Chains A and B, each alone.
Chain A
Amino acid sequence: MNKIRNISVLAAIVAFVMIGFACSGAPLSGTSDGGDGSGAMRLQGSGASFPKPIYEKWVNEYQKVHPDVRIDYQSTGSGAGQKAILSRTVDFGASDDPMKDEDLAKADSELMHIPTVLGAVVMTYNLDGVDKPLRLTAENIAGIYLGEIKKWNDPKLTADNPDANLPDEDIFPVYRADSSGTTAVFTDFLAARVPAFKDKVGASKQPNWVEGVGSGQPRNDGVMGLVKQTPFSIGYVEIAFAKANNLPTALIKNPAGNFVEATIENVSAAAAGSAAKMPADLRISITNADGENSYPISSYTYILVYKDQKDARKGKALAEFLWWAVHDGSQFAKDLHYAPLPQEVVGKVEEKLKSITSGGNSLLENPGK
């Protein structure tokens, strides 16, 4: 009897403790303020999945030179990164496509775009017996995704690929089912060149795909997996995914009229070709950039930070990390298939980073130290 009573008392205590937790309403977790003056400083960021490998590399390398700063980066997707920095649940956000004016207006103080590296979106396909890279134009890619070009041996495709033995088979286009920065870059490239695509599908992170054409897959690895497994399919993925999996990538015709490969040099050429046009807030699309060798489906990827940092100590650490990333950090880009920023853009980023303040005081006194 005593035993039963003890158990019931114990159960009662457990129950009350649980109810107490449930009702207290106290936040169990939140962003660490990092300003307690003891231990390592923690910076939290989240957003785009495309730059995750390079950001992880940077975090690792930076830890070696600055053991007192700990940075966590979660790849949650560009849209979620924008949402997170707007609601200030992270110290920095990350996004592949620049924020739209209407979203930027939701910020309670000035939000800055800091370009970090450049990447490319490549067209990958599953065609046995086609050994040389396929040559594709914006018009033909749009035709495939609009459902107007249905067969691989369509005269429009064979005209650009006279040597390739294109089969008499249905094309199976694959796109991203989730909202994605990769899709934003890809559709931006097509919508700028093909009016019909702009009208029907549009350019956005999750556009209106034509009903009955192709299939959607979540994330880069989903698209890649399906293309790899499905004969006669075609899809678009970030270049790092294609390279890591040895997938064939198509040559894309740029506005200068050349079919170019998605190499780091050609992506850098696209950035250099559009650097002069870069606006003061650094938000720019570099698809279809001028230049003989510019790869036309290239893009910057951005880190989003507030110009006025509420916590001076944290803001200083963040600005210093970003300064390091675009200078010392750029050496790690190529191995991971990203293109480093062109020199003139680095200069613009330096200006932006120097303008970060907290309570009116500049945070980067002597950058580079």
Chain B
Amino acid sequence: MAKTGTFADSLFKGILTVFAGTIILVVIAMIVMMFWNSLPTIKEFGLGFLIGSDWQPASDVYGALPFIYGTIVSSVIALILAVPVSLGIAIFLVEQAPRSIASPIAFMVELLAAIPSVVYGLWGIFVLAPFIRNYLGPFLQDYLGWLPLFQGRLTGIGMLTGGVIMAIMVTPIITAVVRDVLEVVPTSQRDAALALGATKWETTLIVLENASSGIAGAVVLGLGRALGETMAVTMVIGNAPQISASLFEPAYTIASVLAANFAEATDRLYLSALIEMGLVLFLVTFVVNAAAKVLVMGVAKGTNAARQA
């Protein structure tokens, strides 16, 4: 009995190790394959690929900077808009709202996360773009028009629209994760704070502080979706490889150019350029995730130290 039990346990452990090892293999295989297939452009352009701003497949000139710029700026816009809103919703659901209101709102948030990307894209073209062209854009130009960010012609299609649609798409993800994180903060902490005479606001601050590493993780998850979002963004960002100070001008993201062109890329160098773009996106995501992890560890250490003091 004991013997077979040991055997079963070690077999079980072995199988789990194989499964866990698969994920590492997949990541390594992807990096190796992407690197291998992008060798033609790496050899041809070297670092120039990353800092070049001309993208002309017809002339075999490939510079990825406009796409890297578009990817990062649109994701930053998305996070600036989505993080405060998501935190607000999550705090409301956990700390303030009675169950009868919290459940339906939480359900709606989860529903938003399940809507396919292309539906967001269509909504973006038919509702969001006209709204930005007719209302939000003119409003921003009236009050903040002196900023280069809000100058130029208003077509409803562009960096800002792409960022806003991404924000709407990542909000449910960040909200859902933050809500789960806040819910596991022990009630005793809230009770203790309230018993010491803290206001609701002060209590919430304490809860947020204790949940900070989880919240940072939620933001990283949201950023991951924003960086890799293809369809909805392709439909509203304007798909023009240019770097413009204005958020109303069309832009392009790495994920969008891959989605729009990969199937039709027949030329060897073109294919290689697109694959190298995929590699760049992979590395950007990797660096961002790693940076966030370090940040979270730092914050967690800080809170622990404060608690012990």
Residues A229 and B126 in contact, CB atoms below 8 Å apart: yes
The stretch that binds A, out of B98-106, B174-182, B184-192, B232-240, is B232-240
Q: Please name 14 pairs of A and B residues whose Cβ atoms are closer than 8 Å in the assembled complex, sorted by A.
A: A5-B4, A15-B18, A78-B264, A79-B266, A206-B261, A207-B58, A215-B238, A215-B239, A216-B240, A216-B250, A217-B235, A217-B239, A229-B129, A230-B129
A80 CA to B270 CA, complexed, in Å: 13
Cβ–Cβ < 8 Å partners of B155 in chain A: 172, 215, 230, 233
Q: Is B201 an interface residue (CB 8 A)?
A: no
Task: Report the nearest A residue to B18, measured CB to CB.
Answer: A15
Knowing A177-B260, A178-B261, A215-B155, the reply to whether A83 touches B266 (Cβ < 8 A) is yes
Residues A178 and B15 in contact, CB atoms below 8 Å apart: no
Q: Is A170 an interface residue (CB 8 A)?
A: yes
Chief secondary structure at chain B's binding surface: helix
Residues B239 and A177 in contact, CB atoms below 8 Å apart: yes
A219 CB → nearest B CB, Å: 9
Cβ–Cβ < 8 Å partners of B157 in chain A: 215, 226, 230
Cβ–Cβ < 8 Å partners of A211 in chain B: 240-242
Cβ–Cβ < 8 Å partners of B263 in chain A: 76-77, 79-80, 178
Residues 70-125 of A contacting B (Cβ, < 8 Å): 76-80, 82-83, 103
Q: Is A209 an interface residue (CB 8 A)?
A: yes
Q: Is B27 an interface residue (CB 8 A)?
A: no
A303 CA to B130 CA, complexed, in Å: 41
Q: Is A205 an interface residue (CB 8 A)?
A: yes
Residues A215 and B265 in contact, CB atoms below 8 Å apart: no
Residues A79 and B265 in contact, CB atoms below 8 Å apart: yes
A164 CB → nearest B CB, Å: 22
B232 CB → nearest A CB, Å: 12
Most buried by B among A103, A179, A225: A179
Q: Is B24 an interface residue (CB 8 A)?
A: no
Q: Is B56 an interface residue (CB 8 A)?
A: yes
Knowing A1-B5, A12-B11, A216-B239, the reply to whether A202 touches B125 (Cβ < 8 A) is no
Residues B260 and A230 in contact, CB atoms below 8 Å apart: no
> How many pairs of A and B residues are in contact by the CB < 8 Å rule?
113
A80 CA to B264 CA, complexed, in Å: 5
A170 CA to B259 CA, complexed, in Å: 29
Q: Is B8 an interface residue (CB 8 A)?
A: yes
Chain A 192-218 against B: per-residue CB contact (8 Å), 1 yes, 0 no? 000000000010111111011011111
A77 CA to B238 CA, complexed, in Å: 21
Q: Is B1 an interface residue (CB 8 A)?
A: yes
Q: Is A4 an interface residue (CB 8 A)?
A: yes
Q: Identify the B interface with A (CB < 8 A).
A: 1, 4-5, 8, 11-12, 15, 18-19, 56-59, 125-126, 129-130, 133, 153, 155-158, 234-235, 238-242, 244, 249-250, 252, 256-257, 259-261, 263-266
A225 CB → nearest B CB, Å: 5
A296 CB → nearest B CB, Å: 22
Residues A5 and B266 in contact, CB atoms below 8 Å apart: no
Cβ–Cβ < 8 Å partners of B57 in chain A: 179, 206
A331 CB → nearest B CB, Å: 32
Residues A80 and B239 in contact, CB atoms below 8 Å apart: no
Residues B234 and A179 in contact, CB atoms below 8 Å apart: no
Interface residue from B5, B15, B156 paired with A229 (Cβ < 8 Å): B156
Q: Which 8 A-B pairs have the closest CB atoms?
A: A179-B264, A216-B239, A215-B238, A177-B239, A79-B264, A208-B56, A215-B250, A218-B260
A344 CA to B1 CA, complexed, in Å: 87
Residues B235 and A222 in contact, CB atoms below 8 Å apart: yes
Task: Report the nearest A residue to B250, measured CB to CB.
Answer: A215
Interface residue from A204, A206, A230 paired with B156 (Cβ < 8 Å): A230
B164 CB → nearest A CB, Å: 16
A78 CA to B235 CA, complexed, in Å: 21
Task: Report the nearest A residue to B259, measured CB to CB.
Answer: A218
B17 CB → nearest A CB, Å: 11
Most buried by B among A4, A214, A215: A215
Knowing A80-B266, A178-B261, A204-B58, the reply to whether A15 touches B1 (Cβ < 8 A) is no
A99 CA to B242 CA, complexed, in Å: 31
Q: Is A32 an interface residue (CB 8 A)?
A: no
Cβ–Cβ < 8 Å partners of B12 in chain A: 8, 11
Residues 246-288 of A contacting B (Cβ, < 8 Å): none
A96 CB → nearest B CB, Å: 12
A99 CA to B156 CA, complexed, in Å: 38
Cβ–Cβ < 8 Å partners of A218 in chain B: 234-235, 239, 259-260
Knowing A12-B11, A172-B155, the reply to whether A179 touches B1 (Cβ < 8 A) is no
Cβ–Cβ < 8 Å partners of B11 in chain A: 8-9, 12
Most buried by A among B57, B244, B260: B260
Cβ–Cβ < 8 Å partners of A202 in chain B: 58-59
B25 CB → nearest A CB, Å: 10
Task: Report the nearest B residue to A14, measured CB to CB.
Answer: B15
Interface residue from B4, B239, B265 paired with A179 (Cβ < 8 Å): B265
Task: Report the nearest A residue to B127, measured CB to CB.
Answer: A229
